[in-house]
Amino acid sequence: MLCVLLCASTLMSQQIGQNANPEGTSTATFKSTTQLVVEAVTVKDKKGNPIEGLGVKDFTITENGVLQTISFCDHQALPITPGEAPPAPSAPEDINVFYRLGEMHILPEAPGTLRYQDRRLLAMYFDMTAMSPTEQMRALAAAQKFIRTQMTPADLVAIMRYQGSGVDVLQDFTADHNRLLSILETMIVGEGQGYGESTDDASTADTGAAFGQDDSEFNIFNTDRQLAALQTAANMLAQLNEKKSLLYFASGITLNGLDNQAQLHATIDSAIRAGVSFWPIDARGLTAGAPLGDATVGSPGGVGMYSGTSAMAVTADFKQSQDTLYALASDTGGKAFLDNNDLGKGIVQAQRAVTSYYLLGYYTSNTALDGKFRRIKISLNGSLTGDLDYRQGYFAGKQFNKFNATDKERQLEDALMLEDPITELTIAMEIDYFQLNRAEYFVPIVVKIPGRELALAKRGGAEHTLIDFIGEIKDNYGMTVSNVRDKVNIKLSDETAQQLAKRPVEYDTGFTLLPGKYMIKFLARDDETGRIGTYQTNFVIPNLNKEEQRIAISSVVLSSQRVDLKEALYNAVKSKDREEATNPLVVEGQKLIPSVTRVFSKSRDMYIYLQAYEQTAPAAQPLVAFVSFYQAQKKTFETPPIEVTSGMNNRLKTMPLTFNIPLSNLAPGEYQCQVTVLDPTAQRSAYWRAPVMLVP
């Protein structure tokens, strides 16, 4: 259920964050932009040993041929001795098998910060579409062995997975052995099958089937998808300044002539620009296959099986699949691990390759936000000599008005992953819950944004404002359980456009959740200016089935406005009947708009809505309810009690409670609003209290 409308109330919204003068007075504003560029540089002598003890004066950096001033030189100390054993675990393993694996994010670093100082970043990437169940088991076992026996205190490991539909970040970089082992234990062998390569040469099995479309056409797209997913993983890691090693577990990638070369080059280029080195590990290990294939494939047909052409094709296909792994590694600074059954050695090989290096930072002299690629060259000063390995360039930032659709989407995703909130737009939110059945709860969420902070544009002869929304809900374990992504184009008449500066805009949506503790993070962006606002909070959905001492009740919704669904400026629900059936705040085509700020005008009535549940009673019992207002510990107003004798025809025996309270007789000021629900038959009660503000 998605709805955006202009609220009739002119009251100020809750102040979460604001970057402009709320009074709108004229103030001189000076803007200055700088861009910090950070380069990870490995310096080794002729014997391959890292050179230590260098500083800012020992390096020279040029950007597109222009000399840059180095601001800092930070040495990342990652000593590792061959044969070094990791410390013994201080506590026994605590491995859990999760019900399901949720999606996480690689948290970016704020500009100028180094979150992973003196830490080695290893990302384990499992391409489940390119491995058979046996090979998946071998790869997962090797990862578990490394974490148990070879992971050092300097190592941080992330786990990523590709199953054909997209890249999942199952775990951000962490040193928690139990967490990593639990995720690996949960990864079920055999997921994501069905995208494997099939051949169409002399080695192809003769199945006796009728002639069909060439399998190589499908392989072109499958290979591009695998390489594009690998490119996506590299871009995810680009947000970190340190050196990153991506351990790519697969069973080879077979290129189809020149058709996949463009995507291969794009993947390698993205990895180089992101400072990511690929370390492919062939999960097939050392193989000794039969000349015409093993028992898992059918016998080839044609004269090729007699002339040796089929046997040569089998060998050529295998080598071609390894050639791609070799190219990915060599072009990004890694090394492919092939023809070895001990896959753990490939992980250790990548681990020991990342030794001490330097992080050089400078503020570029080219402040143009044009999005163009800038080439970097780093050299040693004076008589110093050594082999330098570093990123060869980067793309400059862009102004928002030059963003394309991909840039805009990435800006929202990056902002969603930031730990620090963005307060360029003011956002207030209300979260409620209503029980649907014994297990599920409907959670309506209302977001309010002051209209004065939104920019208007003239398009098609009418004023309009475009707002992007993105949000996610995570459970107590940090797993994403639900999300929302929406783009709302609000077209305004001349009259409503003038009122926008005085009225807030409300957006509402809803989720279905189980009882538990959750965290919601929600972002809104003005698509005309690029300004973003973030709202993040924790909330709890109680298990009302366990409520035995008191009457089980839902959230209490306070409102001063009911609107017809047809009056909404934006409504994504095509069927009005569908929204009425799922949203308890919609009754007979009228939607109750929650007051997020709980500030009410005396000139308007207050509407109160809640639900009571009598699921343990053999039949629905009559309920009595009333509303009281307190000020300075004294009761100043109380509604006459109402009796509810009938409810919804469901297993919960839901009893809706509605109040319509005139506020004209109450003096302005702050009150405590209390809702009391009584069950005379069972002699139980329920109370709810919250502060409200009345204004003239």
pLDDT tens digit string along 504-540? 888 888 889 999 999 999 999 988 888 899 998 999 9
User: Which long-range contacts does 49-56 make (Cβ < 8 Å, 24+ apart)?
Assistant: 50/355, 50/356, 50/357, 51/384, 51/386, 52/356, 54/358, 54/380, 54/384, 56/360
pLDDT tens string 275-298: 899 999 999 888 776 666 666 666
- Joined together, the tokens standing for residue 463 give 């004023």
Return d(Cα 146, Cα 180) in angstroms, integer.
11
Q: Look-up: residue for tokens 């184009």?
A: 489
Q: Is the pLDDT of residue 12 over 70?
A: no
Structure confidence at residue 216 (pLDDT): 41
Please report the DSSP string for 280-328 in residue order.
EEETT-S----TT--TTSPPB-STHHHHTHHHHHHHHHHHHHHHHHHHH
Q: Is the pLDDT of residue 472 over 80?
A: yes
Q: Is the pLDDT of residue 238 over 70?
A: yes
The mean per-residue pLDDT over the stretch 73-92 comes to 67
SS (H, E, C) 48-116: CCECCCCCHHHEEEEECCEEECEEEEEEECCCCCCCCCCCCCCCCCCCCCCCCCCCECCCCCCCCCCCC
For strands 599-601 and 684-695, give the pairing.
parallel
Classify burial at 48, counting beta carbons within 10 Å of its beta carbon; exposed 0-12, middle 13-18, buried 19 or more: exposed
Phi then psi for 581, rounded to 5 degrees?
-75, -25
Structure confidence at residue 539 (pLDDT): 92
Q: What is the CB neighbour count within 10 angstroms for residue 330?
A: 13
CB 258 within 8 A of CB 289: no
Q: Which residue has the higher pLDDT, 180 or 114?
A: 180
Classify burial at 258, counting beta carbons within 10 Å of its beta carbon; exposed 0-12, middle 13-18, buried 19 or more: exposed
238: left (phi over 0), alpha (psi -120 to 50) or beta: alpha
Q: Is the pLDDT of residue 3 over 70?
A: no
The mean per-residue pLDDT over the stretch 60-78 comes to 91
pLDDT class of 575 with cuts at 50, 70, 90: very low
Q: Is the pLDDT of residue 33 over 60?
A: no
In terms of pTM, does the model score above 0.75?
no
Q: Tell me which DSSP letter residue 205 carries.
A: B
pLDDT class of 300 with cuts at 50, 70, 90: low
408: left (phi over 0), alpha (psi -120 to 50) or beta: alpha
52: left (phi over 0), alpha (psi -120 to 50) or beta: beta
CB 163 within 8 A of CB 192: yes
CB 177 within 8 A of CB 183: no
Q: What is the CB neighbour count within 10 angstroms for residue 285?
A: 19
Q: Is the pLDDT of residue 196 over 50?
A: no
Return d(Cα 653, Cα 356) in angstroms, integer.
66
Q: Look-up: residue for tokens 């500083």?
A: 55
Q: Which residues contact 554 (CB under 8 A, 6 or more apart)?
A: 432, 433, 434, 435, 584, 610, 611, 612, 613
pLDDT class of 26 with cuts at 50, 70, 90: very low
Return d(Cα 40, Cα 406) in angstroms, integer.
27
Q: Which residues contact 70 (CB under 8 A, 6 or more apart)?
A: 56, 59, 61, 360, 361, 362
Residues of the chain with CATH 3.40.50: 120-174+189-204+214-344
Lowest-pLDDT choice from 11-20, 283-292, 614-623, 626-635: 11-20
- Joined together, the tokens standing for residue 90 give 């201080």
Residues of the chain with CATH 2.60.40.10: 3-23+404-695
Structure confidence at residue 192 (pLDDT): 36
Q: Is 157 helix (H, G, I), strand (E, B) or coil?
A: strand
Alpha carbon distances (Å) from 554 to 3, 473, 609? 22, 20, 9
Q: What is the CB neighbour count within 10 angstroms for residue 235?
A: 18
Structure confidence at residue 217 (pLDDT): 41
Percent of all residues in the chain with a pLDDT value above 70, rounded to a whole number: 78
- Joined together, the tokens standing for residue 611 give 């639900």
Return d(Cα 619, Cα 614) in angstroms, integer.
8
Percent of all residues in the chain with a pLDDT value above 90, rounded to a whole number: 25
> 4-43 burial string, b = 16+ CB within 10 Å, else e?
bbbbebebebbebeeeeeeeeeeeeeeeeeebebbbbbbb
pLDDT class of 108 with cuts at 50, 70, 90: confident
Structure confidence at residue 129 (pLDDT): 83
Please report the DSSP string for 626-666 in residue order.
EEEEEETTEEEEEPPPEEE----SSTT-EEEEEEEE--TTS
Architecture of domain 3-23+404-695: Sandwich (2.60)
- Residue 627: closest CA among 646, 615, 642: 642
Which CATH code for domain 120-174+189-204+214-344?
3.40.50
Q: Which of 67-71, 366-370, 679-683 has the highest mean pLDDT?
A: 67-71
Lowest-pLDDT choice from 29-38, 308-317, 417-426, 571-580: 571-580
Return d(Cα 16, Cα 140) in angstroms, integer.
45
Phi then psi for 458, rounded to 5 degrees?
-100, 110
Size of the chain in residues: 696
pLDDT class of 15 with cuts at 50, 70, 90: very low
CB 361 within 8 A of CB 38: yes
Q: What is the CB neighbour count within 10 angstroms for residue 331?
A: 17
Torsion 171-173-174-175 (CA) sign: positive
Phi then psi for 216, rounded to 5 degrees?
-65, -25
pLDDT class of 615 with cuts at 50, 70, 90: confident
- 215-237 and 261-274 are packed helices; what angle lies between their axes, rounded to 10 degrees? 10
Q: Which residue has the higher pLDDT, 216 or 35?
A: 35
Q: Is the pLDDT of residue 299 over 70?
A: no
